Amino acid sequence: MEQLSAKQERVLDFIKSSLQQTGYPPTVREIADRLGLAGPNSAKKFLDILERKGFIRRQPGCSRAIEVMGAALSPALRSLPVVGAIRAGEPLLAVESIGERIAVDPSFARGEGLFFLRVKGDSMIDAHVMDGDLALIRPQPEVASGDIAAVLLGDEATLKYFFKEKTAVRLQPANPAYKPIMIKQKDAAQLRIIGKVVGVMRKME
């Protein structure tokens, strides 16, 4: 099956949740109302795309005749978004868009709001976080000292060990070739914690 955009995924998720909760799929008007689309015609366009990509099948002339195909409805996997990219090295401009989605075993991704960030750079190699890895992030506004955190510095994002010291926050790389980033208390407003790294996925080839 082809990849879905974030909006297409939202439509498919709503159809699946409606089937699970009520036993029948939503109408195009219900889809448009629930997801804030322009109207039924906009919802129909999304259904056309989902059918073309093989995620659903419809019966012409019936308002609720939407069948979710087996692979799309499989409860064995959980679909998580890959959000932008994050640099394990020098900070990289944060990109808050969903580029793709990846299906994972639910036992690997427990919790709400989880997402992947793609790692670029080698400043965390001694923590076994490599260039090209997918870091699994659990969104949270605070982390404990020693956690690997995804943080925003102004408009820039980076992945580092997080240490809160008496007069500053230290973002510590796990590579002796890189120096730590020190954020003094007076500059604390520039720092925002995105979340904690709770897992890493790596493609071996």
Residues labelled as active-site residues = 123, 160
Beta-carbon contacts of residue 186 (< 8 Å; ≥ 6 apart): none
Q: What are phi and psi of 110, to 5 degrees?
A: -105, 130
- Quick check: 109 and 78 in contact, CB under 8 A? yes
Count Cβ atoms below 10 Å from residue 96 Cβ, excluding itself: 8
Quote the distance between the C-alpha of residue 8 and its chain's center. Answer: 15
The residue with tokens 């071996």 is 204
Quote the distance between the C-alpha of residue 2 and its chain's center. Answer: 18
Q: What is the CA radius of gyration of the chain?
A: 21
Count Cβ atoms below 10 Å from residue 203 Cβ, excluding itself: 7
**Distance (Å, whole) CA 46 – CA 40:** 10
Q: How many residues does the chain have?
A: 205
